[in-house]
Amino acid sequence: MKKFLRRAAVAVSAAVVSAACIFSAGCIQLVPGPAGPKGDDLDFYDLFDALNAEREANGEEPLTVSQFVEMYMDYISPDVEQTLSRQAAINRSLLSSVAILSQYSSGSKYNVYAGSGVIVDIDREAGDAYIVTNAHVAYDTEVTMSYCNRFYIYFYGADTAGVDYAATTSGEVINYTGVEAEDIQLIGISLAYDLAVLRVDDSDAIKNSRAVAAQFVQEDVYNVGEEVYAIGNPDGAGLSATTGIISRDSEYISVMVDDIREYRVMRTDTAINGGNSGGGLFNYDGQIVGIVNSKDEEKGTDNIGFALPSSYARRVVQSIIDNYETSGASRRVFRYQIGIDAVVSGSYAYTDDRTGLTEITEVVTVGKVSGAANGIIQTGDIIKSFAVGTSDLGRSVLSSQAESSFTVPVQSYTVAQHYFEFDVTREYMIRDAMFSVRSGDTVCVEIERDGATYYAYFVFSGNSNRISIE
């Protein structure tokens, strides 16, 4: 879903990525637009950011846009409040989104693709930021050098071809207002999860922008019908927003990147086009619920797009950032593993009378056992809950009672929560959660065996039981 840009002037023609199909989009002429000058007066977002900065300094969770409107704006009718908070959420997300140009070069030949990204951490004063996008925006098997040579990043209001950037007759990008390629590096990429993270350092474009970071939603389960919106760079024509709902909360699709790869995604009827790849799919609290990665057009079916769910996207991104900050830009993604092959032994849907929402609950049992789980967990055990915390246990153990030294600390906000606990109701939850485990952590898995409850504690240290995810 990245767009291939080949310009004699500023015309855009589509190049494609497959999702069990060929994605395509037609050519489009890019027209000039306003540059969006920076204002100096305080506005809604200044107040919103200032309040959340104060809350974060006090160890409190930041407010969402709708919470801010409800708590701090004067009384307005519920309908108007909803409209204003939704419009404010979309407009704020524009400030968290970026258009990306990926330039691949081989000798004097240049291939340029258009994609999207989301800022997940930023220090405007220093000109630094972390930006998440798709791996296939940063990697291309059709050119000599698979990894992108140079990235260019553009903010909303300064993202127009012919105004903010141009191209030579050979296709090389000429940057006018965006983040300079020299200030951007690819610090981590996982083709297996179609995610990549870019690091921007000491950028004047960021210092002079009004860009803000977006938050990932921290939930692991989503509901069909939740209203969402996508912001991206469709057809390389600049950042824009489209709206829709979550159509299916979890499914698997096959996508051709370097090879046919299977991804767990959520489905949405939000309009998705070439160039949206790597952009955010947001809820109306302005939180990222997914990273857009593909659209199936082979069958001519309307309103079917896909996004990588936050349940693993946020954790993969945090893993990349943590590895970069501790080890440097190795581009590798790591995950600890317990050695549990979780399988679904039963699945049913029911409607929650309190919320009116239909939930899917799976009975998750243990299939194959290997690695750290050997001698502790058995095939056929039913997995009831999962937690990441700390303990003074020196080794992995199985206990019939909860260990008093195991705790799940409270922490301030990060891209992805480090410590947490949840009931296991879907097969994918444990696999996704393991991206949050770091050396020194203890994982508690509550299991049911022959009608009795047991607690399996796994202590992780160093690189033991840690694998690299390509």
For residue range 95-137, list pLDDT tens digits in order.
999 999 999 887 777 888 899 999 999 999 999 999 999 999 9
Beta-bridge partners for 265? 251
Number of domains in the chain: 2
313 in the same domain as 341: no
| 160, two tokens | 């127009």
Angstrom CA distances, 343 to 119, 226, 340, 364, 430, stand at 35, 27, 9, 6, 11
As a whole number of angstroms, the distance between CA 222 and CA 445 comes to 22
Question: What is the CATH classification number for the domain harbouring 399?
Answer: 2.30.42.10
356 in the same domain as 326: no
Q: Indicate the SS3 state at residue 437.
A: coil
* 106, 143 contact by CB (below 8 A): yes
pLDDT at residue number 3: 59
Q: Which of 284, 295, 188, 168 is nearest to 235 (CA)?
A: 295
Angstrom CA distances, 401 to 86, 272, 339, 446, stand at 47, 49, 22, 10
Question: What's the rounded mean pLDDT across residues 12-38?
Answer: 31
What's the full length of the chain, in residues?
470
* 422, 365 contact by CB (below 8 A): no
271 in the same domain as 150: yes
For residue range 134-190, list pLDDT tens digits in order.
999 998 866 655 888 899 999 999 999 999 999 888 888 999 999 999 999 999 999
Beta-bridge partners for 117? 98
348 in the same domain as 273: no
- Secondary structure of 102-134 in HEC code, one letter for each residue: EEEEECCEEEEEEEEEEEEEEECCCCEEEEEEC
| 445, two tokens | 């898995």
pLDDT at residue number 83: 65
345 in the same domain as 264: no
Q: Which of 261, 276, 222, 277 is nearest to 245 (CA)?
A: 222
Asked which of 313, 331, 349 is the last residue of a domain, the reply is 331
Q: How confident is the model at residue 13 (pLDDT cuts 50, 70, 90)?
A: very low
Asked which of 331, 350, 380 is the last residue of a domain, the reply is 331
| 253, two tokens | 């699709």
pLDDT at residue number 135: 93
Q: Indicate the SS3 state at residue 130.
A: strand
Q: Which pTM value belongs to this model?
A: 0.83
For residue range 341-364, list pLDDT tens digits in order.
999 999 999 998 888 999 899 999
pLDDT at residue number 205: 95
Q: How confident is the model at residue 322 (pLDDT cuts 50, 70, 90)?
A: very high
**Which residue range(s) make up the domain with 302?**
1-44+61-331
242 in the same domain as 175: yes
Domain membership flag for residue 137 = yes
As a whole number of angstroms, the distance between CA 263 and CA 256 comes to 11
DSSP string spanning 254-265?
EEESSSEEEEEE
